A and B are shown apart, each in its own frame.
Chain A
Amino acid sequence: MFDSLSDKLQRVFKNLRGEGKLTEANMEAALKEIRVALLEADVHFKVVKELIEKVREKSKGEEVLQALSPSQQVVKIVKDELVRLLGTHQSKLRFSNEPPTVVMIVGLQGSGKTTSTSKLARLLVKEGKKPQLVSVDVYRPAARQQLAVLAKQLNIPIHDGEPNQPPIDLVKGAKMAAVREGRDVILVDTAGRLHIDDALMQELQELKDYLNPQEILFVADAMTGQDAVKSADEFNKRLGITGIILTKLDGDARGGAALSVRQVTGQPLKFVGVGEKPEAFEAFHPDRVAQRILGMGDVLSLIEKVEGAIDMKEAEKMQRKLIENDFTLEDFRDQLKQLRKLGPLDSLMGMIPGMDKMSKQMKDAKMDESELTKIVAIIDSMTPHERANHMIINGARRRRIAKGSGTQPQDINNLLKQYTQARKVMKTLTDSLGGLGGGKFGGSMAKRLAKMGLPGMEDLMRR
């Protein structure tokens, strides 16, 4: 549904035949496209209006008018402006000099407070902190139980309290428990509420007064529309939030709400939730979200994800093999097993700019989870010689392999096709890992993706 902004702009400029260069007239057409793209990404319309004015101003500079590829220049201006609005560097949590530090998690119903609380706790543990959890959501049925279950799974202490205890007593208990047990951060999960609910907002204020928290994090759903501004503004006015957690970023929403929330509160985005698993929680990177709003993919997150899941030594070995053009079916199988650790394939594909088309091809080839199992079975049914040299697999061998793996000869053909395709993709990914290690990321991967005919990448490169 969403074309990437750069694709759209390229079309705008292409349609103006003979006008490869930027003029004030065709600039207006481009600005219109930008406006629609931002509105479709749920950026608040007032923010869009201001942004368009800024872009208009900046694009008037001579530099742009003489640029060889105007669409790329314009995209860059928009992206830079988005990054500027989103905050140019990521912010960390503030910790108290006298532990325990108190962090309150607030937000609307269903934005993901409880899940985020447990994920944040896990992240803090990884950073060497000793968090203590407490839920004061005494309204939603089984809400406290939900946090208790998550805490147990993560092996993080939680103050359970009594069934009908009021919120203020619950946090008192949690504070005492934290001091007693030497926990240095208390995470307080609060009940979801509408910003118009006076009684509940009053309750939050009382909690704040008692706890004197270092951080009040507002949880915002990335799928929120134009209303994001209002609720964030209201929470900020009444409570004075100190940061924002953006959740459900693993969906396909553009996350324009991030921009609106940041703009209206003036507070930094600190974390993003990117999946259902406890570890799917990361620090916020403005440039990545800016690219996402513009529909330019998220290469860096992908690289990080790959890096986290794939054994580096294994990857280096693989890369060597690739360079020597020695990537066999056996390696392919091992690689697939590693890929599996990354999660669903199409979500990965979505992170690579311009990969949409490719991802569709993959879908046609049905590269889904159960398909992976099948592929592994097929490769297991080959002889070592066949695995090392796929060229020798002829009709007779195909039939034998199909029989052995309980598949059809057609499946073997598909697999070999995917194998050659994957050879390309793997080469790209492992190359970029190598590039990261050498501190020169960007060049090699981008060039390779560009070579593979991924249009978005070229844009990123030429800047």
Chain B
Amino acid sequence: MSSLLDRLKSGIQKTRSGLVGSIDNLIHGRKEIDPDLLEELEYSLISSDIGVRTATEILEGIKQRVDRQQLADAGELRALIRQQLLDILEASEKPLNWAVKPPTVVMIVGVNGVGKTTSIGKLANRFKGDGQKVLICAADTFRAAAIEQLEVWAQRSDVEMIRQQSGSDPSAVLFDSLKAAEARGSTLVLVDTAGRLHNKEHLMAELEKMTRTARRVIPDAPHEVWMVLDATTGQNGLEQAKKFTESAGVTGIVLTKLDGTAKGGVVVAIAREMNLPIRYVGVGEQVDDLIPFEADKFVASLFDN
């Protein structure tokens, strides 16, 4: 598994040098914690998209310790921030809700262009490698050529896929897929959905309908609902998580495109305010570059050498 860790490390190199590097630069050669240092620290945190409120909270904690003279050495700041981030991310960790009686149904939702289809392709490959019998449900019937894109991924990983005509009812495709999964003895169904902006009520209602449809075939489905989030997303990511949780009952986050950004901080805000665990992080374009998220390893790769 060490190769996984290496890949994580190289994938989050940007965030590492962005966030942690800037903290290190700030602290370097400074002894005292003065208002200037705290302000610069706040800017480093905010520039990682962690959000004004989370940043303010972390800083308040630091200020209090300084006031009570529990903290005086700037060198201790690094460890303190590391611990705060770890606390937030660990608090939201939850075990996967795998179906007692297969198939497990995982629905993938999110706004447009975050990488839902690509993530499904990569997840299918990963789960197949883990010995699951995977079936992909092509329920993005809206975007032009979305089904064709998914089909290429299904072929690459050699897994089954259920599709209908472009423009057909996504709930109908889902119904077919779940029936097929039961008949063929699939152990895992990955459901692709069309990208939708979370403030469009009629599209969010469509997701609710899909959930109801899934329940008609498999009473406790969908077992997991993952919202895919682009790591370059700003504060809107929080609003996305809220609305998708309301409509589709999100149980976890898949954070994509982390390799291209020094940010991704909005997941910390999401973990803190929504208590949603991060399930996978995407750190590259290769098929095995979507890797399971573990808070301690993630924070360690960020802060430790």
Contacts and interface: CB of A to CB of B under 8 A. Distances in A.
Contacts of B47: 44-45, 226
A40 B149 contact: no
A45 B201 contact: no
A146 interface: yes
B112 interface: yes
B114 A110 contact: yes
Nearest to A41: B235
Interface string B19-51: 000000000000000000000000100111101
Nearest to B260: A194
B43 A45 contact: yes
A221 B113 contact: yes
B145 A145 contact: yes
A157 interface: no
Interface stretch (B128-136, B192-200, B293-301): B192-200
A368 B202 contact: yes
B149 A146 contact: yes
Interface string A25-62: 00000000000100111101100000000000000000
B173 interface: no
Interface stretch (B63-71, B178-186, B226-234): B226-234
A326 to B, nearest CB: 33
B152 A223 contact: no
Q: Interface size for chain B: under 10, 10 to 19, 20 to 34, or 35 or more residues?
A: 35 or more
Given A110-B112, A141-B152, A231-B260, 9 more contacts: A145-B149, A195-B260, A223-B230, A226-B49, A251-B111, A253-B235, A254-B235, A368-B201, A368-B202
Of all A-B residue pairs in the complex, the 9 with the closest CB atoms, nearest first, are: A225-B234, A110-B113, A194-B260, A42-B234, A141-B152, A149-B144, A146-B145, A142-B149, A253-B236
B301 to A, nearest CB: 18
A196 B148 CA distance: 28
Contact of B234 (A110, A142, A194, A226): A226
Interface stretch (A85-93, A290-298, A344-352): A344-352
B143 A110 contact: no
B121 to A, nearest CB: 8
A226 B188 CA distance: 37
Interface in A104-127: 108-112
Given A1-B239, A112-B112, A225 B198 contact: no
A45 B51 CA distance: 11
Interface string B93-119: 000000000000000000111110010
B115 A109 contact: yes
A256 B111 contact: no
Interface-central residue, A110, A195, A231, A368, by most chain B CB under 10 Å: A110
A276 B143 CA distance: 9
Interface centre among B14, B114, B261 (most CB of A within 10 A): B261
A369 B202 contact: yes
A143 B260 contact: no
Contacts of B43: 45
A226 B113 contact: no
Candidate in A36, A45, A111 with the most chain B CB atoms within 10 angstroms: A45
Contacts of A40: 51-52, 235
B180 to A, nearest CB: 22
B244 interface: no
B266 interface: yes
A289 interface: no
Contacts of B151: 141-142
A181 interface: no
A45 B237 CA distance: 18
Contacts of B280: none
Nearest to A42: B234
B289 interface: no
Contact of B263 (A140, A142, A226): A226
Interface in B145-160: 145-146, 148-149, 151-153
A196 B260 contact: yes
A314 interface: no
B16 interface: no
B122 interface: no
A36 B52 contact: yes
A42 B235 contact: yes
A230 B262 contact: yes
Interface string A217-255: 000010111111011000000000000000010111110
Interface-central residue, B51, B146, B205, B260, by most chain A CB under 10 Å: B260
Contact of B232 (A36, A108, A147): A108
A256 B201 contact: no
Nearest to A113: B113
A257 interface: yes
Contacts of A223: 111, 230, 233-234, 236-237, 240
B248 interface: no
